[in-house]
Amino acid sequence: ETGVTQSPTHLIKTRGQQVTLRCSSQSGHNTVSWYQQALGQGPQFIFQYYREEENGRGNFPPRFSGLQFPNYSSELNVNALELDDSALYLCASSTGRGGTEAFFGQGTRLTVV
């Protein structure tokens, strides 16, 4: 059984650019959630995908978008990067619609300069 893996582990982007972060879910999991964790804060829910459809969204603007693929891996895309987007982005996989026992990846550290 493989765990949740995220790529890349670190990334530096310039304000205004676009970024794509990737996540491979744990074997057997069909739900992927993305979280943003700013320094000194708890993770904040961005959105969730279940069987390739968005299944819920947190308080993030539309420039945060995502995809889930038939193999349940997922991408998080952020357009028009702002300095405040600098954070650790966590992916979590689980089973079932709204599944809550989430298994987290190690995260992608995004720095916007």
Partner 1 sequence: AQRVTQPEKLLSVFKGAPVELKCNYSYSGSPELFWYVQYSRQRLQLLLRHISRESIKGFTADLNKGETSFHLKKPFAQEEDSAMYYCALSLAYSGGGADGLTFGKGTHLIIQP
Interface contacts to partner 1, rule CB under 8 A: 4, 33, 35, 40-48, 50, 55-56, 58, 90, 92, 97-107
DSSP strand pairing (44-50 vs 31-37): antiparallel
Q: Which is nearer to partner 1, 102 or 112 (CB)?
A: 102
Q: Which is nearer to partner 1, 40 or 70 (CB)?
A: 40
Q: Which is nearer to partner 1, 20 or 55 (CB)?
A: 55
**Closest CB 12 distance from partner 1, rounded Å:** 21
Rounded alpha-carbon distances, angstroms, from residue 88 to 8, 36, 54, 70: 11, 6, 21, 26
Q: Which is nearer to partner 1, 50 or 64 (CB)?
A: 50
**Closest CB 79 distance from partner 1, rounded Å:** 21
d(CA 12, CA 31): 28
**Closest CB 98 distance from partner 1, rounded Å:** 4
Closest to 74 (Cα-Cα) out of 105, 97, 101, 99: 105
